[in-house]
């Protein structure tokens, strides 16, 4: 293992690519931004064409020699590889180069460790780091396999350092998992409380550095950290969104997505990503000035599918129109429904159009109507009350006179399969259309 020097990291970048990979220049630029976000200084770059990955180093042995020579000549502290390496490949490269080697997943984890501020975020990052580290302990500590049994001849090896580390990591992972389950339960209670208040949930999602946090601050009174860095925001922040024609809503800022986001990280950030999964509407923010935005759309959609948020309705936000030279506008589908809003969060141009689109979409998704329930429909009344769908009620000998105000997606599944209750809800939803 190699210690991190206090003066910071002086890095040589290794950029593997294949023949049909597409825009390698964009990948190289993005990786350089990741390195910048991690706080490292780039001393040199080595491009490596990889058609058939070398099981020993991933890159070819000749290219590994070239990287070693560049690292020595530039006096680098670390080699950063823009690809996910197996534990064996990472260890072999470290042995061959004589300095630390960090792959793409390890670099992203390092950035997350620097950015996490809340207790929840720190727990999530540590859990992901430990799961990543656990796969890299295999035969990585043979020089410490010296713990032996006591007595006369030491009788043979006792618990090796490798086994000790595995056991300690396992204990820590279990503890962190329990703590995060508790945090997830608390956040679930908060979300249920917001649902009981019949407030629509909106979540910002998008590729990292698309301007989500800037938009969040522009729409709310939030003070979320926003900077021209990848993963500037990690911890979920929730604020009330006012001045909408449909009434108030809740807006959540979430972590930015990126290609090849480590699976351990996606799994660890359950509480953060749950804001997107449980939302009534996703604001999918894109950089309008980015020529690669369509490809980045697909990257974000793939991550949303992975966290079971692929079916949540989306409104696309084309941000940074001041850089793209576009005009603020709302794009609509054939039915007149808003599907895309062009704006600039930094200058405030087009924010009024976004509020208009949100009012249309969220208002159309809410059911605000009167409902007469007979006394025999006590179970349906209880379910409506538990879901927070009742904004007012009176009762007499004929039953309940209810005032319903809730998202359509909340009311639709409440019948419990009973034909009479299903008919009542169907009539309610039809009246509200």
- Model pLDDT, residue 321: 95
C-alpha to C-alpha distance for 290 and 324, rounded to whole angstroms: 8
- Mean of the per-residue pLDDT values of the chain: 78
Q: How far is CA 190 from CA 184, 320, 333, 382, in A?
A: 10, 33, 34, 21
Tracing tokens 């809340």 back to the chain, one arrives at: 118
Q: What is the DSSP letter of 235?
A: S
Q: Residue 418 in contact with residue 380, Cβ under 8 Å?
A: yes
C-alpha to C-alpha distance for 252 and 256, rounded to whole angstroms: 12
Give 49-106 pLDDT, tens digit per residue.
Answer: 888 888 899 999 899 999 999 999 998 989 999 988 888 898 899 899 988 898 888 8
Q: How far is CA 308 from CA 229, 238, 277, 301, in A?
A: 27, 20, 6, 10
C-alpha to C-alpha distance for 234 and 114, rounded to whole angstroms: 10
Give 151-160 pLDDT, tens digit per residue.
Answer: 444 444 545 5
Largest CA distance in the chain: 90
420: Cβ–Cβ under 8 A, 6 or more apart, which residues?
377
Mean of pLDDT values over 406-425: 70
Least confident of 95-99, 360-364, 412-416: 412-416
Q: For the purposes of burial, counting CB atoms within 10 Å of the CB of 433, is it exposed (0-12), middle (13-18) or buried (19 or more)?
A: exposed
Q: Residue 341 in contact with residue 284, Cβ under 8 Å?
A: no
Give 288-327 pLDDT, tens digit per residue.
Answer: 998 888 888 888 888 888 777 888 889 999 999 999 999 9
Enter the tokens of residue 365: 């998704």
Enter the tokens of residue 285: 């923010």
Enter the tokens of residue 110: 């390092």
C-alpha to C-alpha distance for 22 and 26, rounded to whole angstroms: 9
Q: What is the DSSP letter of 83?
A: S
- Whole-prediction pTM value? 0.65
Give 14-28 pLDDT, tens digit per residue.
Answer: 998 887 665 677 788
Give 185-212 pLDDT, tens digit per residue.
Answer: 766 666 555 555 557 789 898 887 788 8
C-alpha to C-alpha distance for 138 and 268, rounded to whole angstroms: 22
Burial state string for 282-306 with b = 16 or more CB within 10 A and e = fewer than 16: bbbbbbbebebbeebbebbbebbee
- Model pLDDT, residue 192: 58
């Amino acid at each position: 293992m190699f210690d991190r020097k206090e003066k910071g990291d002086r890095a040589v970048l290794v950029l593997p690519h294949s023949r049909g990979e597409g825009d390698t220049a964009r990948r190289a630029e993005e990786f350089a931004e990741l390195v910048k976000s991690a706080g490292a200084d780039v001393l040199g770059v080595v491009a490596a064409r990889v058609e058939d990955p070398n099981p020993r180093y991933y890159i070819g042995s000749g290219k590994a020699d070239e990287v070693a020579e560049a690292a020595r000549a530039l006096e680098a502290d670390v080699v950063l590889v823009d690809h996910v390496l197996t534990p064996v490949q990472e260890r072999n490269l470290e042995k061959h180069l004589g300095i630390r080697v960090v792959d793409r997943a390890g670099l992203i984890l390092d950035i997350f460790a620097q950015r996490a501020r809340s207790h929840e975020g720190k727990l999530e990052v540590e859990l992901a780091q430990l799961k990543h580290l656990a796969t890299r302990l295999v035969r990585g500590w043979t020089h410490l396999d010296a713990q032996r049994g006591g007595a006369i001849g030491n009788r043979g090896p006792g618990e090796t350092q490798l086994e000790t580390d595995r056991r300690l990591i396992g204990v820590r992972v279990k503890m962190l998992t329990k703590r995060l389950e508790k945090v997830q339960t608390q956040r679930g209670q908060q979300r249920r409380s917001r649902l009981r208040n019949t407030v629509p949930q909106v979540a910002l999602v998008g590729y990292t550095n698309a301007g989500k946090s800037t938009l969040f601050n522009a729409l709310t009174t939030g003070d979320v950290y926003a900077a021209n860095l990848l993963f500037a925001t990690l911890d979920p922040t929730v604020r009330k969104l006012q001045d909408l024609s449909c009434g108030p809503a809740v807006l959540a800022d979430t972590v930015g997505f990126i290609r090849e986001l480590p699976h351990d990280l996606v799994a660890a950030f359950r509480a953060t990503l749950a804001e997107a999964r449980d939302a009534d509407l996703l604001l999918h923010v894109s950089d309008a000035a980015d020529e690669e935005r369509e490809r980045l759309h697909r990257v974000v959609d793939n991550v949303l599918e992975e966290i079971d948020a692929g079916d949540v309705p989306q409104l696309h936000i084309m941000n940074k129109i001041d850089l793209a030279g576009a005009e603020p506008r709302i794009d609509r589908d054939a039915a007149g429904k808003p599907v895309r809003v062009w704006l600039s969060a930094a200058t405030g141009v087009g924010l009024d159009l976004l509020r208009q689109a949100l009012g249309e979409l969220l208002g159309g998704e809410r059911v605000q109507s009167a409902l007469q329930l007979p006394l025999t429909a006590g179970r349906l009344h209880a379910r409506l009350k538990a879901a927070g769908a009742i904004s007012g009620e009176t009762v007499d000998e004929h039953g309940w006179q209810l005032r319903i105000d809730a998202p359509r997606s909340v009311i639709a599944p409440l019948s419990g399969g009973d034909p009479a209750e299903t008919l009542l809800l169907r009539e309610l939803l039809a009246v509200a259309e």
